[in-house]
Chains A and B, each alone.
Chain A
Amino acid sequence: MKITPDMIVFAMLAGMAALSAVGVVAFRNAVRSALCLVFTFFLLGFLYFALNMEMLGITQIVVYTGAIMVLFLFVIMLLNLGASHVLEEKSDPKKVIGIGFGVSLAVLLASQIVPVLIKVNAPTAPEGFGSPQVIGNVLFTDYVFPFEAVSILLLLGIVGSVLLAKRRLS
């Protein structure tokens, strides 16, 4: 296997992403874990850029690093999760069952994905696959109905949250 500059970039980004993903679980302080998560999301975004998937990279940064991380930080702030002892769990029979279910799900998914991946040598997407133009095109033609429906969803989300937040007026 020849080492190309692409691979070096990929290895660096992927390695750092994996390291910070470990950090999410390893840190006992919730804020540090959250920051590690931000870092992981960012690196994944760059990974997508490196693979020529601009749209996916932009979405990754806007949605995960932007919106979802803000939610995480809000929750951490509101719950005031500073001390680590709060997060310590007792042993629980549910854990074993949970692990069992998780492993069986992983095996099932792996049995679907791995055979396909083994056959692949040099993955190439069709020209223009996943580009902003293509996605915009599909969104406004084939998927125009759900796209418009989502606008109602957002509208009622806004009105609903205002309605619930406007507490005890008179």
Chain B
Amino acid sequence: MIPTIDWGVIGPVAIVAVTGMIALIVHMITGNSEKNFTQKVTVFGLLIALTSLLAAGGSERFVLQEMVVMDRLGSVGQLLTVFSALIVALVSPAYLEAKRIKLGEFYPMLAWATVGGMIVCCTRNLLVLFVGIEILSISLYVLAGLHRTSKKSEESAIKYFLLGAFATGFLLYGIAMFYGATGSLNMSTLVSYWLHGAPENKILLSLSFALIAVGIGFKCSLAPFHQWTPDVYEGAPTNVVAFMATGGKVGAFVALWNFADSFGHAGRFVGMTIATLAVLSMLVGNVLAMAQKNIKRLLAYSSIANAGYVAVAAASVAIAFRLNHIALIFFLFGYVLTSLGVFVVVLAMAKDGEEPMSLDDLKGLASRSPILAYSLVVFVLSLIGLGPVSGFLGKLFILKDALTANLAWLAVVMVLNSIFGAFYYFGMLRSAFAPAEGDARPISLSIPQTFSLSVCVVGVIGAVVFYAPLLAHLGLR
């Protein structure tokens, strides 16, 4: 029997996939024309997908035997993935022009990377998860090497590819063991085998959990599987990094959370393992970020620390009884908008093949472009988690979850780390408000750049101001 397909659920994924194909064909016909039709087609398609996602909201739906699960977390994850792809597609033309990367294939690849992220967000089936992660990663490997005249970009692509392929091996091995232990690829079968299965089964399941955690941990850049992050972020084109750090991470974070969630509340061992990874990531991220002078490396370590915060949420859900996904949703919302915003600021500063590399290059930003500087203030506050910005809300909810799960020590570590984080985040602001050195020309912003920046600022502040209606719209309360 051919299954009936609920297009409301897989429609957005299909739209983005087809957008990529159409963009590729358009690029084939028009080439690298001045009008940049490829980019326009991609932006248009992503907009349609975004609208369909916003319109689709409703009850939880399972399609094709849980291969696609459209729950709240999944649909918000998809929304954020598509949104970050859209913003990146909007601000990319100016950057690619400035760096003289004349490759229109960037846009179809970006669309397909988005497809991968979307698939990962909405599944409880390990086979589908694997295919989704592969789609996401392989397009990111290629995109990392997009700047072909730069040695650093090539290095970053090769490093990412080799380490990524290695991590994929772990993931696949773990999935195979999962199948061996449960005879199924659905995460929902896990709990009963975990609680009532034979002891040998439990050994196999623990091993499978460890291997899958390595695989997903690599994609989330959790310490100690984080070593690729700073090098890849430093070498890859900044617009690609902007997607890697936001849309590319959302899928992995959601997968980690879903996997931890599928242990029910019985995963004491699992929760403790993830909590260890969380502590390591927060420490590695925040401590090493303090020593960084390079903006992209600093943001890479910051994203490792943020992965640690997500892992805190995942650890809590594996242990505590019936936590829901509000914490993760709010954290992801804040994280994606804030990081995108910071990257838009960095991208907007690129000119004549040059872009800001070190923190010193940020100097004089306040006089060169007050808009950029003051937006940066908002984003930095959100990254630290201070004041009425979405970063604060996300962290607060995660702390609450950790306390519910009796992980008070983990909550303390997280608060301490947030304070560490303040040091280097404020370092960015100190540079931005220092007097200009060298180039002091004002920075003019294009319309897409201004638009993206304002959407991010409004989102970061709006998440707090419109907290209650947002929660109601998400159907969480």
Contacts and interface: CB of A to CB of B under 8 A. Distances in A.
**Which among A149, A159, A168 has the highest number of chain B CB atoms within 10 Å?**
A149
Contact of A108 (B2, B108, B135, B207): B207
A164 B63 CA distance: 37
B64 A145 contact: yes
A133 B399 CA distance: 53
B446 interface: no
A112 B204 contact: yes
A11 interface: no
A68 interface: no
B134 A153 contact: yes
B458 interface: no
Given A163-B142, A168-B149, A153 B3 contact: no
A155 interface: yes
Contacts of A164: 142, 145, 148, 157
B81 to A, nearest CB: 15
B21 interface: yes
Secondary structure call for the A interface: helix
B135 to A, nearest CB: 5
Contact of B2 (A141, A155, A156, A170): A141
A66 interface: no
Contacts, number: 80
Contacts of B204: 108, 112
Contact of B135 (A141, A142, A144, A149): A149
B203 A167 contact: no
A145 B128 contact: yes
Contacts of B68: 145
A108 B103 CA distance: 50
A145 B10 contact: yes
Nearest to B64: A145
Interface string A92-119: 0000000000000000100110000000
B29 interface: no
Contact of B112 (A140, A141, A142, A155): A155
B127 interface: yes
B91 to A, nearest CB: 21
A150 interface: yes
B2 A140 contact: yes
A161 to B, nearest CB: 8
Given A108-B207, A146-B127, A149-B131, A160 B2 contact: no
Contacts of A142: 3, 64-65
B9 to A, nearest CB: 10
Given A108-B207, A149-B119, A156 B139 contact: yes
B224 interface: no
B21 to A, nearest CB: 7
B248 to A, nearest CB: 14
Contacts of B139: 156, 160
Contacts of A145: 10, 63-64, 67-68, 128
Interface string B101-123: 01101001100100110010000
A159 B10 contact: no
A125 to B, nearest CB: 16
Nearest to B146: A163
A111 B146 CA distance: 48
A151 to B, nearest CB: 9
Contacts of B135: 149, 152-153, 156
A159 B146 CA distance: 13
Given A142-B64, A160-B142, A150 B131 contact: yes
B254 interface: no
Contact of B203 (A108, A140, A144, A163): A108
Contacts of A132: none
B151 to A, nearest CB: 13
A149 B1 CA distance: 20
B138 A156 contact: yes
B53 to A, nearest CB: 18
Contacts of B119: 149
B200 interface: yes
Contact of B21 (A108, A111, A155): A155
A15 interface: no
Contacts of B127: 143, 146
B64 A153 contact: no
Q: Which of A111, A150, A160 has the largest number of chain B CB atoms within 10 A?
A: A160
A167 B68 CA distance: 39
A145 B127 CA distance: 10
A127 B85 CA distance: 49
Contacts of A167: 148
A145 B6 CA distance: 12
Given A152-B17, A159-B24, A160-B141, A141 B1 contact: yes
A153 B138 contact: yes
Contacts of A157: 138
A150 B127 CA distance: 11
Nearest to A151: B17
A149 B132 contact: yes
Given A141-B1, A142-B3, A163 B207 contact: no
Minimum-distance CB pairs A-B, first 6? A160-B142, A156-B112, A149-B131, A145-B67, A146-B131, A146-B128
9 contacts: A145-B10, A145-B67, A146-B125, A149-B131, A152-B20, A153-B135, A160-B139, A164-B142, A164-B145
